Amino acid sequence: MITIVGTGIQQGDLTARGKKAIREASYVFSRVKMRGANEWASELFASASSFEEMDSLIANHLLEKEKSEENVVFAVVGDGFCDNVGKILEQKTQISVIAGVAENRGRAQSTSFVTMSAYDVNENTYFDTAVPHVFYDIDDKAIASDLKICLLDYYDGETQVTLSDGKNSKVIPLFELDREKKYKLASLFIPAQSDFTKKKRFEFNDLMRVMRRLTAPDGCPWDKVQTHESIRENMLEEAYEAVDAIDNNDIDNMIEEMGDVLLQVVFHCDMATREGEFNFNDVISGVCEKLVSRHTHIFGENKANDEAEALGFWEKAKAKEKHYALLKEQIDRIPDTFPALLASEKFIKKANKYGAGVSMETLKEKVVKALENNELVSALTAVVFLVAISGQSPEIELNKTLKEIERKAVKLEEENALNKLSDNI
């Protein structure tokens, strides 16, 4: 059996039972250097690439020690119940916990806040910055540095935070969190950041709150009267601008344009919520359900060896979900607002999937015959279908070609040779 002893958060928190367990143990292991410990994680597993890896290494280390030691104790900060290593150990062996004082008691400046161990924070952790946060278990510089990096995604580096060791505290800018000489049972308090006019760093909840403020009865006269129909063109425009940024590999512009696309989604969800049609969670729930149900090779029993097989499973799951039986049902799903080239690509691919059997050879013959008869639209249609079934996107490829022709035209104009453009098409 392995005994987990909660050492509390400051001197005097260790109970008599905890002291006795540590004193009588044949082997004592601690997360951080402490009196009475044989070894500690901050030294033994300093090379761990993440807190999750460190937790796993500690658990395996303790399980190995249990085989050779009569009485193993794992000393942790806080009450002993919240450490992730304990959650791993209880799945593999018998453990007992001698409780200490919980980490989240007595340090914060608010009665309503979120508390988290620094060991639980990673790049996937989400923070609502409008709520006060307390982070405990900041045991050394490495943990402080990792915590700071994660927090800087949500908070400005100049945000004033309070660093405390249970006895003393001081206010510092967030970017200085990992610049202390030593860390002893340190905790960090970050007050709520709810004033939009003073924030320099925003997160998703901020966007939702700003949108609700703009469309409130006393909000922006323009924003609050918009409808789905009145801003439909904005969605198209922002999507095209985002694609243009992608095509140009313009990262800064991508950030801006992706934000504009997201704004359109949030705008529509906000007005739908006010009208009782749907809300943002309905949208999120729908797309998550779709991702899970159509990735049967990830969340189901199918196995995909390459991207083609993965796409095949997606299409099969989609057809089953939509109950498509006829080509007409598929065609009816092609939006009328699609550009003609994109709609043509979608149509010919769906038609062939349902057995149309339109081949490249047939289309090439159609192009030649249509041109001989001066049937230019028929020739154009056949060429578009030809490009589509060859695996290319007519819309994207024509756009690339047009950009190249435009570049050549500008160059010829500079050389006073624009009349030679036909030779460069």
Which CATH number do you get for residue 42? 3.40.1010.10
- Domain co-membership, 183 together with 215: no
Q: What is the pLDDT of residue 211?
A: 96
Q: Tell whether 362 is covered by a domain.
A: no
Q: Tell whether 295 is covered by a domain.
A: no
Structural domain tally of the chain?
3
Give the amino acid at 187: S
Domain limits for position 179: 114-190
Give backbone dihedrals phi and psi of 355, rounded to 5 degrees, phi first: 100, 15
Q: Tell whether 161 is covered by a domain.
A: yes
Of 60, 98, 97, 75, the closest CA to residue 27 belongs to 75
Q: Tell whether 248 is covered by a domain.
A: yes
215 Rama sector, left if φ>0, alpha if ψ -120 to 50, beta otherwise: alpha
- Domain co-membership, 92 together with 7: yes
Q: Which long-range contacts (CB under 8 A, 24 or more apart) does 171-178 make?
A: 174/148, 175/148, 177/144, 177/145, 177/147, 177/148, 177/151, 178/141, 178/144, 178/145, 178/148
Query: Of 160, 190, 220, which closes a domain?
Result: 190
Query: Of 50, 67, 98, which closes a domain?
Result: 98
**Tens digit of pLDDT per residue, the chain (425 long)?**
899 998 876 666 788 888 899 999 999 998 877 777 788 787 777 777 777 888 889 999 999 999 999 899 999 887 777 778 888 998 899 888 887 766 554 444 444 678 888 988 988 888 899 988 989 889 889 999 999 999 999 999 999 999 987 677 889 999 999 999 888 778 899 998 989 899 999 999 999 999 999 999 999 999 999 999 999 999 999 999 999 999 899 999 999 999 999 999 999 999 999 999 999 999 999 999 999 999 999 999 999 999 999 999 998 898 888 877 788 988 998 998 899 999 999 999 999 988 999 999 999 999 999 999 999 999 999 999 999 999 999 998 998 899 999 999 999 999 999 998 988 88
- Domain co-membership, 183 together with 231: no
pTM of the model: 0.67
CATH code for position 140: 3.30.950.10
Q: Tell whether 273 is covered by a domain.
A: yes
Q: What is the pLDDT of residue 107?
A: 46
Q: Tell whether 308 is covered by a domain.
A: no
Q: Tell whether 128 is covered by a domain.
A: yes
- Domain co-membership, 86 together with 124: no
Query: Of 245, 278, 311, which closes a domain?
Result: 278
CATH code for position 239: 1.10.287.1080
- Domain co-membership, 210 together with 183: no
- Domain co-membership, 38 together with 64: yes
